[in-house]
């Protein structure tokens, strides 16, 4: 008996089935680890760690599921390296620019805080922090501690260093506790962003975000500014340089 005319040969069927299981497009080998790390962090932040399937990450990265195991041991290893990748990118990006900043310590601090505040208001930042402070803190505490050490604690140290620069130059009061102030300032700003924007408090209390930021930063700086710096500031025609003017001082 002859085969039905609409039935494909087995080799052809197998070839088409293989193609249907392949990603829509393929990454070059050198791009695959980075693409997987970015796709993984995005998927985990959107859907949660346990709810995210490796097949979903692989498809978003343009590779097969088997390729994931070529570079990573398991899903937790993928999350760990995705977080490290993101934090290293932050160090190589904006933090590296701060090293080349030419200007006062106050302007440098304002530049850093403006960058941080804008970042904390984004959906990506909110999703990642809900994931880390929730599911990961409970179920992978060691990974959570690594994330905190390389993120929040590093931010505290960076701001304390800028405050110390201002104390050394005479801009800020020598008696100010730079380490304590850095914790108070960053925790206040990031928690306000997290609560107001990402936990929905802003829908219950529609308070202007720009007022929160301005009041917190301006009040703290007014409190730690040295008398000499305060007198110099009073002689200036404007209370502070524009954001664009500050950024132009980055070499």
pLDDT at 18 (0 to 100):
39
Max distance between CA atoms of the chain, in angstroms, equals 102
Percent of the chain with pLDDT over 90: 70
10-78 CATH fold? Arc Repressor Mutant, subunit A (1.10.10)
Considering the four listed CATH numbers 3.40.50, 3.40.1000, 2.40.128, 1.10.357, the one that applies to the domain covering 100-247 is 1.10.357
Write out the two tokens for 25: 């497009």
pLDDT at 14 (0 to 100):
41
Per-domain boundaries in the chain:
10-78, 100-247
- Rounded to the nearest angstrom, the gap between the alpha carbon of residue 133 and the centroid of all alpha carbons in its chain is 14
pLDDT at 6 (0 to 100):
44
Residues 108 and 169: beta-carbon distance below 8 Å: no
The tens digit of pLDDT for each residue in 161-181 reads 999 999 999 999 999 999 999
Q: How confident is the model at residue 13 (pLDDT cuts 50, 70, 90)?
A: very low
Confidence check: pLDDT of 5 > 70 = no
Confidence check: pLDDT of 7 > 60 = no
* Stretch among 60-69, 175-184, 239-248 having the lowest mean pLDDT: 239-248
Write down the mean pLDDT value for the chain.
85
CA 168 to each of CA 15, 172, 178, 185, 249: distance values in angstroms, whole numbers, following the listed order? 70, 8, 12, 20, 20
pTM across the whole model: 0.79
The tens digit of pLDDT for each residue in 110-129 reads 999 999 999 999 999 999 99
Phi/psi of residue 172, nearest 5 degrees: -110, 155
Question: What is the pLDDT averaged over residues 10-28?
Answer: 43
């Amino acid at each position: 008996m002859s085969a039905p005319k609409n039935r494909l040969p087995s080799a052809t069927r197998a070839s088409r089935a293989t193609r249907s299981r392949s990603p829509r497009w393929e990454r070059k080998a050198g791009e695959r680890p980075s693409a997987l790390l970015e796709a993984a962090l995005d998927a985990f932040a959107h859907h949660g760690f346990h709810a995210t399937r490796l097949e979903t990450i692989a498809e978003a990265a343009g590779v097969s599921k088997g390729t994931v195991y070529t570079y990573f041991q398991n899903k937790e290893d993928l999350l760990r390296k995705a977080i490290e990748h993101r934090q290293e990118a932050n160090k190589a990006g904006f933090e590296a620019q701060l090293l080349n900043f030419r200007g006062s310590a106050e302007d440098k601090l304002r530049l850093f805080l403006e960058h941080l505040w804008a970042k904390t208001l984004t959906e990506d930042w909110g999703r990642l922090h809900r994931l880390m402070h929730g599911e990961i803190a409970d179920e992978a505490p060691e990974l959570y501690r690594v994330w905190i050490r390389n993120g929040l604690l590093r931010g505290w140290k960076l701001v304390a260093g800028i405050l110390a620069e201002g104390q050394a130059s005479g801009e800020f009061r020598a008696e100010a506790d730079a380490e304590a102030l850095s914790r108070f300032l960053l925790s206040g700003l990031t928690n306000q962003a997290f609560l107001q924007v990402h936990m929905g408090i802003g829908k219950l209390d529609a308070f202007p975000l720009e007022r929160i930021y301005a009041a917190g930063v301006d009040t703290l700086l007014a409190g730690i500014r040295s008398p000499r710096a305060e007198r110099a500031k009073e002689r200036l025609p404007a209370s502070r340089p524009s954001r664009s003017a500050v950024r132009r001082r980055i070499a």
